[in-house]
Amino acid sequence: RHPLATFFHLFFRVSAIVTYLFCDWFSNSFVACFVTILLLLSFDFWSVKNVTGRLLVGLRWWNQIDEDGKSHWVFEAKRVPTIAASTEAEARIFWLGLIICPVIWTLFLFSTLFSLKLKWL
């Protein structure tokens, strides 16, 4: 039902990983690589928070200020029985993308530590 949202959910994450892997081939500038990866991950965060989380799995969150002036974060999620069968695949893609990409970044962390390329940490 939301192929464009699913595409961009994976696009920003996979693009950041691919950029991290192959950035040395295209540019000798560490700063350019770092900024590109940071921008891709920022776009990913924004899209998950504002678009794909809501469309694919029904996540919503916002900040609410009560009468005392205290800030409270409110989180909402769709109940599992209300998710249609057609969106189960999209929900699975959403959660797998949310889990697998940090695992890949953790593997990069350890490989960078063991190879002593600390600036890429």
Q: What is the pTM of this model?
A: 0.78
Q: Tell me how many domains the chain contains.
A: 1
pLDDT at 83: 55
106 vs 109: CA distance, rounded Å: 5
pLDDT at 30 over 70: yes
Closest CA relative to residue 13, chosen from 98, 80, 119: 98
Residue of 30, 21, 10 whose CA lies nearest to 92: 10
Report whether pLDDT(35) > 60. Answer: yes
CB 98 within 8 A of CB 57: no
**pLDDT the model gives residue 102:** 93
The range of the structural domain enclosing residue 43 comes to 3-120
Model confidence pLDDT, tens digit, residues 61-118: 888 898 898 998 888 877 765 556 557 888 888 889 999 999 999 999 898 888 877 7
pLDDT at 19: 94
Beta-strand ranges (E) seen in the chain are 60-65, 71-76
pLDDT of residue 14: 95
